[in-house]
């Protein structure tokens, strides 16, 4: 049994992602020349798997061709040993993103520092725009977001904010004695 079937099942149940692959729209977005991608191989193999899973013709299917494709580019996923599903999902989503990235040549753009003169939403929107100039894919649109970080200088007291792109939000699972409350604020930006 392939150890990452549960991760694939989870991804296949993300409606926007599955509809994108079932419509075959992804095929016109394949970026075979992206040096960070896998020549479209991962996107094509994942698309075939999604079609097989959702065809209604079989009760089960084996992700053999996707597994072989991923092993070509990431030997750490070879064999059938149990591996970290989050690491696999991260690799797969990154591979799909780069295979489908509509930005053909990523421009160099200097990132602006926080000068403290704009509000959070303006700074976040600017940093998101910067990120989007280099990353545009359906994978990005579905799974990526931003996380706000604040760094305080202990010497002068200045605080610098950044809004970094994220695909996964890791939450620690504390011991029962050390349960803490986290505040996670979800802010949806238009676009």
pLDDT in tens, the chain (191 residues): 355 788 899 999 999 999 999 999 999 999 999 999 999 999 999 999 999 999 988 888 889 999 999 999 998 888 766 667 888 999 999 999 999 999 988 888 777 777 778 888 888 998 899 899 999 999 999 999 999 888 888 898 888 888 889 998 877 777 777 766 767 776 666 65
* Domain span holding position 146: 120-178
**Of 43, 69, 99, which marks where a domain is finished?**
99
Reference 65, options 45, 41, 88, 83; nearest CA is 45
152 occurs within a structural domain = yes
CB 183 within 8 A of CB 147: no
CA angle 190, 24, 97 (to 5 degrees): 55
Does residue 161 sit in the same domain as residue 95? Answer: no
Does residue 94 sit in the same domain as residue 49? Answer: yes
> In this predicted model, what pLDDT tens digit does every residue of 66-104 receive, in sequence order?
999 999 999 888 876 666 788 899 999 999 999 999 998
Does residue 95 sit in the same domain as residue 136? Answer: no
**Of 99, 128, 147, which marks where a domain is finished?**
99
Does residue 13 sit in the same domain as residue 47? Answer: yes
Mean pLDDT across the chain: 87
Give the pLDDT confidence score for residue 56 in this predicted structure.
87
Does residue 143 sit in the same domain as residue 81? Answer: no
Does residue 57 sit in the same domain as residue 130? Answer: no
Does residue 164 sit in the same domain as residue 127? Answer: yes
Provide the number of structural domains found in the chain: 2
Does residue 33 sit in the same domain as residue 74? Answer: yes
C-beta pairs of 183-190 under 8 Å, 24+ apart in sequence: 187/121, 187/124, 189/121, 189/124, 189/125, 189/128
Does residue 45 sit in the same domain as residue 95? Answer: yes
Does residue 23 sit in the same domain as residue 94? Answer: yes
113 occurs within a structural domain = no
Tell me the three state secondary structure of residue 126. Answer: helix
CB 90 within 8 A of CB 9: no
Does residue 94 sit in the same domain as residue 159? Answer: no
* pTM for the full predicted model: 0.83
108 occurs within a structural domain = no
Give the pLDDT confidence score for residue 68 in this predicted structure.
93
């Amino acid at each position: 049994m392939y150890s990452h079937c549960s991760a694939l099942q989870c991804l296949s149940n993300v409606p926007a992602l599955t509809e994108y692959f079932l419509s075959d729209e992804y095929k016109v977005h394949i970026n075979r020349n992206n040096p960070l991608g896998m020549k479209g191989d991962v996107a094509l193999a994942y698309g075939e798997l999604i079609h097989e899973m959702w065809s209604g013709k079989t009760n089960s299917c084996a992700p053999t061709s996707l597994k072989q494709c991923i092993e070509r580019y990431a030997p750490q996923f070879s064999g059938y040993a149990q591996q970290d599903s989050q690491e696999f999902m991260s690799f797969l989503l990154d591979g799909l993103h780069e295979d489908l990235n509509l930005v053909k040549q990523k421009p160099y753009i200097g990132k602006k520092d926080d000068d403290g003169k704009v509000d959070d939403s303006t700074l976040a929107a600017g940093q998101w725009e910067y990120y989007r100039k280099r990353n545009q894919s359906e994978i990005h649109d579905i799974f990526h977001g931003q996380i706000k970080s604040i760094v305080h200088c202990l010497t002068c007291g200045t605080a610098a904010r950044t809004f970094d792109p994220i695909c996964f939000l890791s939450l620690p699972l504390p011991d029962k004695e050390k349960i803490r409350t986290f505040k996670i604020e979800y802010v949806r930006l238009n676009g």
